[in-house]
Homo-oligomer: A and B are copies of this chain.
Amino acid sequence: MTEQQLFEKIKTKKSLLCVGLDPDLDKMPKHLLEMEDPIFEFNKAIIDATLPFAIAYKPNTAFYESLGVYGWQALKKTIDYLPKDVFTIADAKRGDIGNTSNKYASAFFKEMDFDAITVSPYMGEDSVKPFLNHKGKWVILLASTSNAGSLNFQELTLADSKQKLYERVIEVSAQWGSEQNMMYVIGATRTKTLSNIREVLPNHFLLIPGIGAQGGDLNLVCKTALNHRGGLLINSARNIIYANDGIDFAQYAAKAAEELQQAMSQAIERYKKW
């Protein structure tokens, strides 16, 4: 999916919503466990229910891998089921030497037809570039994440420039691609970070986790970081997919997604720059 198509989706659906598809057998409705393929049945119901309100879906590979071969099958079925007109993200946080990153790119862009993959920057340029060689596909690079451990290294100040590490990651990596094939992960609680990043990267899309349960403020994020092309994908997983674990869980998921989309619609109306 192109940047233009993504922008069109935002305007049409009045939404920035990315639904995190993180299926967990311990948390999902019990009646699904009796089915042949509970993970896929869960995802299918969640996708069908939330599709009017979401512009993107983001399965996190860890939840599938923890179930072994069966989980990997369910991931493949899920990406095959997702409609072509939503933006799909493999939240895989991969990154290895060039030749090996090529294999990961094959895994998520060819073997499975994701639009984007999340990538860790630690190994540098040759670990990221192989993903950028796939036309129409995206890298979403970890920059400033929303977890406590992000303070350990990402926030360290560098001697040569007084930049923080994540700022250097953004500055350097932005040269490897363009706003047509690179996005960045920035935690929703990092409002000052978001504000700084919009000065350096006015045009790039940002993927924002951490709204809701983790404390991020939707209106503040939109006020700070919406740009002239939308420029934001805001992820929500638990609040939507585990809104309820009864037989009618999908209706609750739809309701939670709709409420968040309506809040987004209002924030867009208030803060949009297009």
Chain A positions near chain B (C-beta within 8 angstroms): 22, 24, 60, 62-63, 65-69, 71-73, 76, 91, 93-98, 100-101, 103-104, 106-108, 110-112, 120-128, 142, 145-154, 156-160, 162, 165, 168-169, 172
Contact = CB atoms under 8 A, between A and B. Distances in A.
Contacts of A63: 100, 103
Number of chain copies forming the complex:
2
8 contacts: A24-B103, A62-B107, A65-B111, A66-B103, A68-B72, A124-B150, A153-B172, A156-B159
Contact of A96 (B60, B127, B128, B172): B60
B159 A157 contact: yes
Contacts of A169: 153
B65 A97 contact: no
A66 B106 contact: yes
B104 A62 contact: yes
Closest 10 pairs between A and B when the two form their complex, measured CB to CB: A124-B149, A124-B152, A62-B103, A65-B107, A66-B106, A125-B149, A66-B103, A126-B149, A157-B159, A72-B72
A124 B104 contact: no
Contacts of A126: 147-149
B153 A165 contact: yes
Given A60-B96, A159-B162, A122 B125 contact: no
A64 to B, nearest CB: 9
A60 to B, nearest CB: 6
